[in-house]
Chain A
Amino acid sequence: MAIAHSPSRDTGLDNLATVLVTVGVVLLALLTLYLVGFDQGAVSRSGMFLHELMHDGRHLLGVPCH
């Protein structure tokens, strides 16, 4: 914490672990957003259950719905 600003060390996308974490988190986040916003029963094994459970949230978030 002694270094005030370290532009290219630790914080960057320089090492493999950081890149993997970044890619993994992006994929997980997009999957979550897909389930909330776009799932029309394709991924969920429960048919339209997740779609309808998230129904009001999706409408209010402004994602197109039916």
Chain B
Amino acid sequence: MPLTDSLKTLLLRGLLAGLIAGLLAASVGYFVGEPRIDAAIAIEEAAAPAEHGHGEEEATGGHSHGDEAEVSRSGQKAGQFLALGLAGMAFGALFALAINLARRFSTLSGPRLVLTGAVLAWAAIVAVPFFKYPANPPAVGDPDTINDRTWLWVAAVVLGLLAVTAGVAAYRALASQLGTVRLIAGVAAFVLVTTVGYLVLPGVNEVADDFPASLLWEFRVASLAQTATLWASLGLAFAALTEFASRRSTPVAEQVATAG
């Protein structure tokens, strides 16, 4: 059964699914990511005792870690739940709007449309930016290039959205073809746009030679685990809420749901 809920219902569902997803992702981050952030900050503080004034350079955008920070480490760990909760709700609301738009062009059932959308959203705004500009722990990255790196990262998000759009467009353009052929064409268009974008965007490598490679790798895996949790939970929670809602409203929907 396609989605027939009002925009308001979709938005509330997106906010709730996003909040659930954000808190789950923050929990993953708390256990998997925080130990690596602690380790990286320890390296940063040990490596640069001369740069102790780093925290006072607020006018230039620098900030401090550890004891001198305006927010303590335990505060930042709690703040991660706030950050992910807020980000999750924001993503959930935007996701609801995107689903509201997408359902005009799709005959997929509500839950299937939502799950497809979540996978595409993860590919666009997590996977494509991540594999060009992977997440970095504290102590990696030159404070002077923060503006450039932020804009490049935003450009990579835009690239991801373009690549997914191209993939979906290719898939839809081949409506007369077999399902697998359409899927191959869609993936090929996505990969093509992503590759061109990767070649155009400049590389950034600000990892110091003496920064432990294993710690960098572990942090990046933790980041990927967190964002994957965020989007998997958002999609699954949104789809589950959709299915619950349609089951209650009409008995017919229940039969369709079990058949699909």
Interface residues of A (CB under 8 A from B): 1, 3-8, 10-13, 18, 21-22, 25-26, 28-30, 32-33, 35-38, 40-41, 47-49, 51-66
Cβ-based interface call for B207 (8 A):
no
- Evaluate contact between B87 and A66: CB separation under 8 angstroms: no
Set of chain B residues within 8 Å of A64, measured between Cβ atoms:
133, 136, 141, 146, 149-150, 152-153
Q: Which of B4, B93, B105, B138 contacts A65 (CB 8 A)?
A: B138
Q: How many residues of B contact A (CB 8 A)?
A: 66
Set of chain A residues within 8 Å of B192, measured between Cβ atoms:
none
What are 5 of the A-B contact pairs (CB < 8 Å)? A7-B105, A11-B4, A26-B94, A60-B33, A65-B146
Set of chain A residues within 8 Å of B8, measured between Cβ atoms:
21
- Evaluate contact between B133 and A12: CB separation under 8 angstroms: no
In whole angstroms, what is the CA distance A21 to B222 when docked? 36
Set of chain A residues within 8 Å of B196, measured between Cβ atoms:
none
Set of chain A residues within 8 Å of B63, measured between Cβ atoms:
48, 51-52, 55, 66
Which of chain B's residues 126-182 have a Cβ closer than 8 Å to chain A? 126, 129-130, 133-138, 141, 143, 146, 149-150, 152-153
- Evaluate contact between B84 and A57: CB separation under 8 angstroms: yes
Which of chain B's residues 200-228 have a Cβ closer than 8 Å to chain A? 219, 222-223, 226-227
- Evaluate contact between B137 and A57: CB separation under 8 angstroms: no
- Evaluate contact between B79 and A66: CB separation under 8 angstroms: no
Set of chain A residues within 8 Å of B104, measured between Cβ atoms:
7-8, 11-12
In whole angstroms, what is the CA distance A10 to B63 when docked? 48
* Chain B 46-86 per-residue mask, 1 if CB under 8 angstroms from chain A, else 0: 00000000000010011100000111000111011111101
Q: Interface on chain B toward A: helix, strand, loop, or mixed SS?
A: helix
Set of chain B residues within 8 Å of A6, measured between Cβ atoms:
4
Q: Which of A4, A26, A35, A47 contacts B1 (CB 8 A)?
A: A4
Stretch at the interface among B95-103, B115-123, B183-191, B236-244: B95-103
- Evaluate contact between A29 and B70: CB separation under 8 angstroms: no
Q: Which 3 A-B pairs have the closest CB atoms?
A: A57-B83, A62-B135, A53-B79
In whole angstroms, what is the CA distance A65 to B145 when docked? 10
Set of chain B residues within 8 Å of A18, measured between Cβ atoms:
7
Cβ-based interface call for B197 (8 A):
no
In whole angstroms, what is the CA distance A37 to B150 when docked? 10
- Evaluate contact between A36 and B86: CB separation under 8 angstroms: yes
For residue A17, give the distance in angstroms from its CB to the closest CB of chain B: 9
Set of chain A residues within 8 Å of B258, measured between Cβ atoms:
none
Set of chain A residues within 8 Å of B91, measured between Cβ atoms:
29, 33
Set of chain B residues within 8 Å of A54, measured between Cβ atoms:
79-80, 82-83
Which of chain B's residues 1-39 have a Cβ closer than 8 Å to chain A? 1-4, 6-8, 11, 26, 29, 33-34, 37
